[in-house]
Chain A
Amino acid sequence: MRLADDFRSSQLARGLVGGIRRNSTRKARLMEFCGGHTVAIMKHGIRQLLPPTIEMLSGPGCPVCVTGNADLDKAIALARIPGVILTTFGDMLKVPGSRSSLQEARAEGADVRMVYSTLDALQIARQNPSRQVVFLGVGFETTAPTVAASVLQADKEGVGNYFVLSLHKLCPPVIKAILDSGEIRIGGLICPGHVSAVVGSQSWDFIARDYGIPCVVSGFEPLDILQSVHMLVSQVEKGESRVEIAYRRGVSAEGNKRALEIMYQVFEPGAAAWRGVGAVAASGLKLRKAYQRFDAESAFRFDPGPTVEPKGCICGEVLRAVKTPRDCKLFRTVCTPANPVGPCMVSSEGSCAAYYLYEATDER
């Protein structure tokens, strides 16, 4: 068994597509919450394979996209402090803030370094004892435990020059906020696979129970996504609303207890601002008092400057699934991956980028 390849088999995909087409009689609007799912769906052309009864909507599950300008400006300001090494995941480099981006700051002389892991950021801290290494913590519950683990490691070793700017966010509260707003009606939710690996499928129980929306936790290979759509269609046809796990090899009901323990040992929920949605209570992660000394926000004096939002950009509405990229006047005309106006076009998981790069249309 070859784990990744086996879940890409075109023969098995045909079986699933056949099943979906046979079973789907009712119109169903399904949302994939996670940016990674949006990309996988676009990249493999999955929408083309689905019957016309199924409409797919993309949700706000792209941690880069939902990071607001005010927060990004903080990161840029920190990067500009002499002596600071700003370490970050690659996706954040090109996102435009109010006036600049981390990439631009780097070109102007700031020490901004791309890392694959907090392990690498910690190593940079150890190797540069006279500098201050700040890690830009962006990501949901998949990533937050890894950042928490790095704080614990730094604490254990006595690494005094490692800091975290936590912009981490939690998924369940924002899904609730979107459903409560009543702006969109969805008939089924494809739940994020790797967030669920950490938090467990139980975290989505409230969606099925309180909102009557069927949920299926999905992996990221084409077969995983097709299987999840198949399972959602089954529930829709029978009028059910339960939480099911399609991604059984990676997800359980309780999730990874150790990872959650570590995450909540270092972080506690706090208010957070989501681009397009606004402030959502208890949806962000802040460093606990016991780990204050690792908090970049309190350790440094910096001024991010006034926040400016990009004119004409409807990233916010795209993130809330109220509009699609095609509804945006700037899409493809002004806003392209080469000249992005908003983060949805920059982030490799942003809806706009995915639509731009992968949709096979004759429009262009």
Chain B
Amino acid sequence: MSDRILLAHGSGGRLAHELIEKVLLKPLSNPLLDRLDDSAVVPFNGRLAFTTDSYVINPIFFPGGDIGKLAVCGTVNDLSMVGATPLYLSLAFIIEEGFLIDELERVLVSVQAAAREAQVQIVTGDTKVVNKGSADRLFVNTAGVGTVPEGIDISGSNAKPGDKVILSGTIGDHGIAVLSQREGLSFSTKLESDCAPLNELVNEMMSASRRIHSLRDPTRGGLATTLNELAAQSKVGIRIEEEAISVREEVRGACEMLGIDPLYVANEGKLVALVHPEDAEAVLEKMQRHRYGKNAAVIGEVRPDHPGRVVMKTTLGASRIVDMLVGDPLPRIC
């Protein structure tokens, strides 16, 4: 077998089958996937949660993860954010001709490791190969399904004034870890992406309260954008305290150097929960006992005033608006 992906690998012929059997199936093998039918057929009861995502991250390998881990965790987390138990994922690759098969294998090993931790199965997939230059090395697309337990209705539009805003940990880790690898911005740090599957954490939280109104993971656009989305969806105001938000020293340092605000930097292993005030403490306690919620804290609350707006009390005690991200958080110089 060649050491690089060729156009022929995507054309459905012998080379394609060789790729599937020798490279793709081995790490992901499970009874459903191994059948290699055009569709996976699974038994199902109850309400279906269904999500899709595409991953185009560059660089593909970054401190703390890679595009494979990201794809699984991202999809699992999207399902968790509506209170669903994630079950099955699809995995589709669009690979640029010339991509090293070794690297593809590394990605698949990550996919399997993440899937195992999240207790989900990859049950169907697809592979296409495109000409050099048509895809930025590797694009990944996923779809994920899960079940939502009876009586659970977690949505961005369910927030109520009085709800506490809980953040599960430090912000900015993923974005800065990835940025540190980009050309033209070279700085080095021990910082790793926080990429992680949060379904178990969410389970723990749901065992402490049936009054978790909203859940969302602050990925692209960061915490600021996510809070604005929730405020807009539920037509409520959100008030947070700058002092309560945890930022790692390295993230702060990098953000200072580059002129970026950590509130707008992507996270891949964190969540924001809007919880009925009476249950907040119990939920927080469960979170802090979980490895992905160690630094969980109440950072603010939902208010009836200034609907759609997020206001932050600064460390100096003054107030300022925290708006959504506009465009890219470009490192600024002046």
Min C-beta distance of A236 to chain B, whole Å: 23
Interface residues on B, range: 20 to 34
Encoded as 1 (CB less than 8 Å from any B CB) or 0, chain A from 121 to 149 comes to: 00010000000000000111011000000
B45 at the interface (CB under 8 A from A): no
Given known contacts A116-B185, A362-B306, A364-B309, A45 and B326 CB-to-CB distance under 8 angstroms: no
- Whether A143 pairs with B319 at a CB distance below 8 angstroms is no
B53 within 8 A of A: no
Q: How far is the CB of B324 from chain A (nearest CB, A)?
A: 9
| Residue A330 at the chain B interface, CB threshold 8 Å | no
Q: CB within 8 A of B331: which of A8, A114, A336, A356?
A: A114
Distance between Cα atoms of A43 and B323 in the complex (Å): 12
Contact between chains at A359 and B321 (CB < 8 Å): yes
Residues in A whose Cβ lies below 8 Å from that of B309: 364
- How far apart sit A114 and B330, CA to CA, in the bound complex (Å)? 9
Interface of B is mostly: loop
Residues of A within 8 A of B183 (CB): 120
CB pair B334–A62 under 8 Å, yes or no, is yes
The distance in angstroms between the C-alpha atoms of A44 and B317, with both chains bound, is 8
| Residue A219 lies at the interface, judged by CB distance under 8 Å to chain B | no
Residue from the list A8, A62, A115, A360 in contact with B321, Cβ < 8 A: A360
Contact A348 B332 (CB under 8 A): yes
**Cβ proximity bits B238-281 to A, threshold 8 Å, 1 near / 0 not:** 00000000000000000010110000000000000000000000
**B311 contacts partner chain A, Cβ-Cβ < 8 Å:** yes
Is A349 touching B256 in the complex (CB atoms < 8 A)? no
Contact A45 B306, CB 8 Å, known A349-B332, A359-B321: no
CB distance from B90 to the nearest CB of A (A): 31
CB distance from A139 to the nearest CB of B (A): 6
In the complex, chain A residues whose CB is within 8 Å of the CB of B334 = 35-36, 62-64, 89, 91, 138-140, 142-143, 347, 349
Residues in B neighbouring A89, C-beta threshold 8 A: 332-334
Name the CB-closest residue of B to A9. B315
Report which of A10, A36, A115 forms a contact with B317, defined as CB distance below 8 A: A10
In the assembled complex, the CB of B4 is this many whole angstroms from the nearest CB of chain A, namely 24
| B178 vs chain A, min Cβ distance (A) | 15
Residue A4 at the chain B interface, CB threshold 8 Å: yes
Least CB distance, B241 to chain A, in whole angstroms: 11
Write the chain A residue with the least CB distance to B311.
Answer: A360
- Inter-chain contact B306/A120, CB cutoff 8 Å: no
- State in angstroms the CA–CA spacing of A12 and B246 once bound together: 22
Within 8 A of A (CB), among B282-324: 306, 309, 311, 314-321, 323
Interface string of A103-127 (1 = CB under 8 A from B): 0000000000111100010001000
Answer yes or no: B151 CB below 8 A from chain A CBs: no
Q: How far is the CA of A178 from the CA of B242 in the complex (A)?
A: 37
- Tell me if B133 counts as interface (CB < 8 A to partner A): no
* CA of A310 to CA of B311, assembled, Å: 32
- Chain A interface residue count, CB cutoff 8 Å, equals 48
Which of B309, B327, B334 has the most A CB atoms < 10 Å from its CB?
Answer: B334
Q: Chain A contacts of B2 at CB under 8 A?
A: none
Name the distance in Å between A52's Cβ and chain B's nearest Cβ.
Answer: 15
Set of chain B residues within 8 Å of A91, measured between Cβ atoms: 330, 332-334
- Interface residue A207 (Cβ < 8 Å from any Cβ of B): no
Report chain A residues within 8 Å CB of B258.
116
CB distance from A198 to the nearest CB of B (A): 14
A-contact 0/1 string along B181-219, CB 8 Å cutoff: 001111000000000000000000000000000000000
**With A90-B332, A93-B330, A338-B327 given, is the CB distance from A116 to B184 under 8 Å?**
yes
- Tell me if A358 and B315 are in contact (CB < 8 A): no
In this assembly, does A179 line the interface, its C-beta being within 8 Å of a C-beta of chain B? no
Is there a chain B Cβ closer than 8 Å to A325's Cβ? no
8 Å CB contact of A45 from B318, B323, B331: B318
Q: Which residue of A lies closest to B309 (CB)?
A: A364
Q: A43-B314, A44-B318 in contact; A90/B331 too (CB < 8 A)?
A: yes
Given contacts A89-B332, A115-B184, contact A348 B318 (CB under 8 A): no
Looking across the interface, which residue of chain B has its beta carbon closest to that of A222? B316
Residues of the A chain whose Cβ atoms lie less than 8 Å from the Cβ of B332? 89-91, 348-349
* Residue numbers in A under 8 Å from B259 (CB-CB): 348
What 1/0 flags go to A251-291 for Cβ under 8 Å of B? Answer: 00000000000000000000000000000000000000000
CA distance A8 to B318 in the complex (A): 13
A13 to B315, CA, bound (A): 10
Let me know if A90 and B321 touch, CB within 8 A. no
How far, in Å, is A126 (CB) from chain B's closest CB? Answer: 13
Closest-CB distance, B175 to chain A (whole angstroms): 15
Partner of A4, one of B256, B317, B318, B330: B256
Within 8 A of B (CB), among A320-364: 336-338, 347-349, 356-360, 362, 364
Across-interface contacts of A362 in B (CB, < 8 A): 306
CB neighbours (8 Å) of B306 from chain A are: 362
Across the two chains, which residue of chain B brings its CB closest to A62?
Answer: B334
Contacts of B327 in A (CB 8 A): 94, 337-338
Q: Is the CB of B319 within 8 A of A48?
A: yes
Interface presence of A84 (CB below 8 A): no
Taking CB atoms and an 8 Å cut-off, the chain A residues in 57-109 that contact chain B are 62-64, 87, 89-91, 93-94
CA distance A86 to B333 in the complex (A): 17
A10 near B333 with CB under 8 A, answer no
A152 within 8 A of B: no
CA distance A36 to B256 in the complex (A): 13
CA A200 to CA B323, docked complex, whole Å: 37
Query: Sorted from nearest, which 10 A-B pairs have the closest CB atoms?
Result: A45-B318, A90-B330, A337-B326, A89-B333, A48-B318, A115-B184, A348-B332, A360-B319, A358-B320, A120-B184
List chain B positions with a Cβ less than 8 A from chain A: 183-186, 256, 258-259, 306, 309, 311, 314-321, 323, 326-327, 330-334
Given A48-B319, A337-B323, 20 other A-B residues pairs in contact with their CB atoms under 8 A:
A14-B317, A35-B334, A42-B320, A43-B320, A44-B315, A45-B319, A62-B334, A64-B334, A90-B331, A94-B327, A140-B334, A142-B334, A336-B326, A347-B334, A348-B259, A348-B332, A349-B332, A357-B321, A357-B323, A360-B311
17 examples of A-B residue contacts, CB within 8 angstroms: A8-B316, A13-B316, A36-B334, A43-B314, A48-B318, A49-B317, A62-B334, A63-B334, A89-B332, A89-B334, A94-B330, A114-B330, A116-B331, A142-B334, A347-B334, A360-B311, A362-B306
